Amino acid sequence: MNLMPRLYKDERDLDALRNLLLAGRRAANGTYYVHTGDLNWWLFYPPLSGDSWNSIYLWDDPEREGELLGWSLLSLPETFDVYVHPDLRGTKLADEMYIWAVDKITATAREAGEENISIQWVAADDKFLDGWLQKHGFVRGKEGVYMTRELFTPIPVAPLPDGFTVRSCRGVDEVEARATAQYGAFDSTAPFERYVARFSRFMQSPVYGSDRDVVAAAPNGDIAAFSIVWLDAVNRVGLFEPVGTHPDFQRKGLGKAVMLEALRRLKEHGMQQAIVCTGDDNLPAIRLYESVGFEIVNKLGQYKKRIEP
């Protein structure tokens, strides 16, 4: 079989992308599938330089209408992701999908003057995908940690400094304060007006829920710390993405307080496990996550390949 992918069209396709990720996580076959919340974050809170909607390619299942054999997201100009239906892991068809994506991103990267192409989210213990990538000239580089916390155990309440509260974000009514917190936490250098506009669009998107955007608010109304959590009702797994504290409010226990409240909300929504990812060199974040009960269970790597002239 030699199927060619097609471009993303509509919300039905978005459902199909999510369904494949859900199936992949449920299969637990050794290949890492990102949480559906990751996909929502990528698509509805895109980089300021553009969005990804026109760079999503889908391989339709010819025997099951509305279902996919796989899909690929090209984060132009040089990064790509491929998610293959778990039943196809290791097959010739999966091989064809990866080769197509590599060829496609190589062409766009070369046109943009990039020297490398890369793929992320590859589990350290995924022997199959590691072998495939090395066979095709990729080298494993930067690592991230994959951390989990079970939600069966009690979730403590963290003390707060006087006057601070932990609550739901008020959405677009306090978009500037919310954007300010994230802008500072991640040390952004983007024009602030554009940053706020992007956050406003995200808050008005169908994937945003203010009850899942948990914040620590200062007495004067400033947002000091924040975390958004995402739900996977099929696998009962909640994702933290993003998590941060504005530099003016660090070392007050506010990040911990926000995460503990978010964990409680995940549990109330029926989640049985929470997950979070960060770079393996981000020691402050790792210590914060460990302080609320997360443990490192795997590593996720980025693989790079130098483009031949």
pLDDT band at 309 (very low <50, low <70, confident <90, very high): confident
pLDDT the model gives residue 1 = 56
Q: What is the CATH number of domain 6-142?
A: 3.40.630.30
What does the pLDDT average to over 194-210?
97
Per-residue pLDDT averaged across 112-138, rounded?
A: 96
List, in order, residues 6 or more apart from 135 with CB less than 8 Å away: none
Indicate the CATH number for domain 153-271: 3.40.630.30
**297: pLDDT strictly greater than 80:** yes
Task: Identify the burial level of 221 via C-beta atoms within 10 angstroms of its C-beta, where 0-12 means exposed, 13-18 middle and 19 or more buried.
Answer: exposed
Q: 48-104: per-residue pLDDT in tens? A: 888 899 999 999 999 999 999 999 999 989 999 999 999 999 999 999 999 999 999
In this prediction, residues 164-188 reach a mean pLDDT of 98
- The pLDDT value given to residue 2: 66
Q: What is the pLDDT of residues 207-256, one digit of tens each?
A: 999 999 999 999 999 999 999 999 999 999 999 999 999 999 999 999 99
Cα(309)–Cα(302) distance, integer angstroms: 22
How far is Cα 124 from Cα 32, in angstroms, rounded to an integer?
9
Q: What is the pLDDT of residue 3?
A: 83
Distances (CA, A) of 162 to 159, 166, 223, 248: 9, 12, 15, 16
Q: How far apart are CA 119 and CA 125, in angstroms?
A: 16
Residue in the block written with tokens 């979070």? 276
How far apart CA 155 and CA 263 sit, in angstroms, is 7
- By percentage, how much of the chain surpasses pLDDT 90? 96
Asked if 136 and 41 touch (Cβ cutoff 8 Å), the reply is: no
Radius of gyration (C-alpha) of the chain in whole angstroms: 20
Identical fold at 6-142 and 153-271?
A: yes
- Amino acid 96: pLDDT: 96
Q: Which tokens sit at 84?
A: 């293959």
**Residue 76 pLDDT:** 86
pLDDT tens track for 3-56: 899 999 999 999 999 999 999 999 999 999 999 999 999 999 999 888 899 999
The first and second tokens of residue 121, run together, are 């989210």
**Domain coordinates in residue numbering, the chain:** 6-142, 153-271
Whether 275 shows a pLDDT value over 90: the answer reads yes
Do 97 and 59 contact (CB within 8 A), yes or no?
A: yes
Instruction: Report the mean per-residue pLDDT for the chain.
Output: 96
Decide: 142 and 304 in contact? Cβ < 8 Å: no
CA terminus-to-terminus distance, the chain: 31
